[in-house]
Amino acid sequence: MSTQHKIVIVGGGAGGLELATRLGRAYGRRQRAVITLVDKNRTHIWKPKLHEIASGSMDLGDHQVDYMAQAHWNHFTFRIGELKGLDRSNKTIELAPYVDEQGRAVTPTQYLHYDTLVICIGSLSNDFGTQGVKEHALKLETQHDAKSFHSRMVNACIRAHNQAGVIHKRQLHVAIIGAGATGVELAAELHRTTREVVAFGLDRIDVDKDIKVSLIEAADRILPALPPRMSQATEHLLSRLGVQVLTSSKVMEVSSMGIRLADGREIESELVVWAAGVKAPDFLKDFGGLETNRINQLVVQDTLQTTRDPDIFALGDCAACPCSDADGGRAGIVPPRAQAAHQQATHMWRQIQRRLAKQPLKPYRYKDFGSLVSLGKFSTVGNMMGGLIGKSLMIEGYFAKLMYLSLYKLHELAIHGIFKTTLFTLSRMITKQTNPTVKLH
């Protein structure tokens, strides 16, 4: 029987894939540990890119990472399946059978033993029980969600062009509920991509009259988690683009015809996107007896260890990690951002090094480097936490766009290395010259 340390990472998002890759290169290659990555999907996509897939400004195939190939090249094992059970006494997790589109089982129920378990399964949007959301609103939580929205958007344009009679105002009206980063970025991208779709021969559609994008937020300003100056600059730019921004507008019901607000107003729309709220998956609630908070996040210590089991760690959006106010956290919790997942994956890599060397673990401290919101080709706005100047510095335009792009490049460098990242970047630049400016299928 192998005495190698067994490390199981559940969740192949930004943090999980970066951690598995680094561990595989360092320990898997030399057979000093057995590293297994678990995910319910076959491929990885950087979650902040989902709004670009949904709008059609990015081709999913150009940015997907195949888990099986990544595992083979980087000396770890990939297992497809969804986390179903946890037996802490026997240090075993249970994975539900993976089922294909025809309902046939591809894999049976799987049981994996661990010495160190890292849970990083991300977060979902939180509909707060709002009536009709599950039945009539689309969400942007997965690759499938993004592709489904894009397909519906393109189909709506083609249908409107080919129908007899007047185009109803709700047909090409996209209503986005939630003006956080995802909602704002999607609204800006859709302003451009819907017009580019129409430019490919759908000339019965009047882009200024028939196409409309609305952004609806319950708080008194968009981007409520970010500094007010960013909110004001972003809202000004969206308004210039023609995006309708409605703040202090709580949604009470979503139907097939549109949205009903708390003040009684009704917004007609056949394409409704729910991008509000954040919570961890429901099944994590008291999962395996581990402590969770009100939004199902696993409560962890500053070492990223769960409070009730030192052999189980959690990171990323599904973890409630303590954070002092000085670190930029809300209510003492590290905010659910890509930069936090990247930082925690790096810290977790060092924690595992210490565990294997039987050294004491060190606390994680969140470093807030600021926030960036991409408004597509029009602009990028953000704030940088000024360690040199002692305060937050607002940035906008080309420099902010470069900073935004660099976040994704850092993620690619972590999983691919500099040679492959350079090749991928060049390949996309060449492909862009021969493809439509927007994805049409």
| CA atoms of 33 and 387, how far apart (whole Å) | 38
CB 400 within 8 A of CB 376: no
3-state helix, strand, coil in the chain (%, to 5): 35, 25, 40
| CA atoms of 309 and 330, how far apart (whole Å) | 25
Cα–Cα separations (whole angstroms), residue 391 to 223, 232, 378, 383: 20, 19, 27, 10
Q: How high is the pLDDT of residue 386? A: 46
Q: How high is the pLDDT of residue 75? A: 97
**Type of residue numbered 204:** R
Question: Which portions of the chain are predicted below pLDDT 50?
Answer: 1, 326, 328-329, 386-390
Residues β-bridged to residue 10: 38, 119
Q: How high is the pLDDT of residue 433? A: 84
| CA atoms of 301 and 284, how far apart (whole Å) | 17
pLDDT tens profile 104-162: 999 999 999 999 999 999 999 999 999 999 999 999 999 999 999 999 999 999 999 99
**Type of residue numbered 300:** V
| CA atoms of 93 and 90, how far apart (whole Å) | 9
Cα–Cα separations (whole angstroms), residue 284 to 20, 145, 199, 297, 317: 22, 22, 46, 7, 12
| CA atoms of 432 and 364, how far apart (whole Å) | 40
Q: How high is the pLDDT of residue 440? A: 83
pTM of the entire predicted model = 0.92
List Cβ<8 Å contacts ≥24 apart for 433-436.
435/59, 436/196, 436/200
Give me the phi and psi of 436, to 5 degrees please. -60, 155
Can you give the C-alpha Rg of the chain in angstroms? 22
Q: How high is the pLDDT of residue 225? A: 83
Nearest in space to 273 (alpha carbons), one of 183, 192, 342: 183
From the centroid of its chain, how far is CA 211?
Answer: 27
Q: How high is the pLDDT of residue 77? A: 98
CA angle 71, 90, 76 (to 5 degrees): 10
**Type of residue numbered 46:** W
Domains and CATH numbers, the chain: 5-124+279-368 (3.50.50.60), 133-274 (3.50.50.60), 372-432 (no CATH)
| CA atoms of 112 and 80, how far apart (whole Å) | 12
Compute the Cα dihedral for 407, 410, 414, 415 and give only its sign: positive
Nearest in space to 179 (alpha carbons), one of 238, 131, 123: 238
Q: How high is the pLDDT of residue 165? A: 87
pLDDT tens profile 375-402: 877 677 777 654 434 456 667 776 777 8
Q: Which residue has the tokens 């950087």?
A: 46
